[in-house]
Amino acid sequence: MKLATAALLGVAVLSSTAMADAKKGQKLYMKKMKAACGFSGAKFAQKHTQDEWEEIHGAGKFKEEAEKICPGLKLDPKYVDDIYDFSYEFASDSGNVPSC
């Protein structure tokens, strides 16, 4: 029983660290995207609802959508998951407002 509990806890910790992070996405937006976009992260995230962001990301078109919203932006693919989590967390229908 102790072994099963330890294994479950280990899997939970490892899986949560492998996932993207909305806070990290917010920091990345501020550092990598805000100048190119010319507006706050709140305005960027509120361009779509959570369902719309989910559909865009699921279709593999998040990078293209971000670059369409922010002409001139060249979003590095390694940042896509974190920026997506940020956008989803602060989407127009989420009721959340970021501090950027």
pTM (2 d.p.): 0.77
Residue 65 pLDDT class (50, 70, 90 cuts) = very high
- For residue 18, pLDDT over 50 is answered with no
Residue 17 pLDDT = 40
Residue 47 pLDDT class (50, 70, 90 cuts) = very high
Residue 16 pLDDT = 42
Nearest to 36 by CA among 2, 86, 74: 74
- Over residues 30-35, the mean pLDDT reads 95
**Half-sphere exposure for 88 (CA within 13 Å, toward CB):** 18
**Residue 32 CB partners (closer than 8 Å, separation 6+):** 75, 76, 79
